[in-house]
Amino acid sequence: MTHLPVIKNPSDLLRKKSEPVSKEELAGKEIQTLIDDLLDSMRLENGIGIAAPQIGVHKRVIIVDDGKGPAAYVNPEITARSIRKGHFIEEGCLSVPGIWGYVTRHKVVKVRALDRNGERVALKVKDLTSVIFQHEIDHLDGILFIDKADTYTRHPGM
Ranked by CB distance to Zn ion, the top (closest) residue is 93
Tell me the DSSP string of 1-59: ---PPPPPSS-GGGTSPPBPPPHHHHHSHHHHHHHHHHHHHHHHTT-SEEEGGGGT--B
Contact residue for Zn ion among 93, 99, 131, 149 (CB under 5 A): 93
Binding mask 117-156 for Zn ion (x = CB under 5 A): ----------------------------------------
Q: Which stretch binds Zn ion (CB under 5 A): 1-9, 34-42, 78-86, 87-95?
A: 87-95
Residue 156: other Cβ atoms inside 10 A: 7
Tell me the DSSP string of 92-132: --TTSTTEEEE--EESEEEEEEE-TTS-EEEEEEEHHHHHH
Specify whether 136 is catalytic. Answer: yes
Using the minimum distance from each CB to Zn ion, give the nearer residue, 63 or 93: 93
The least distance separating Zn ion from the CB of residue 89, rounded to whole angstroms, comes to 13
The least distance separating Zn ion from the CB of residue 135, rounded to whole angstroms, comes to 6
Using the minimum distance from each CB to Zn ion, give the nearer residue, 46 or 122: 46
Using the minimum distance from each CB to Zn ion, give the nearer residue, 17 or 23: 17
Whether 54 and 14 have beta carbons less than 8 Å apart is answered as yes
DSSP code, position 70? E
Give the residue numbers annotated as catalytic, written as ranges: 136
Binding site for Zn ion (CB under 5 A): 93
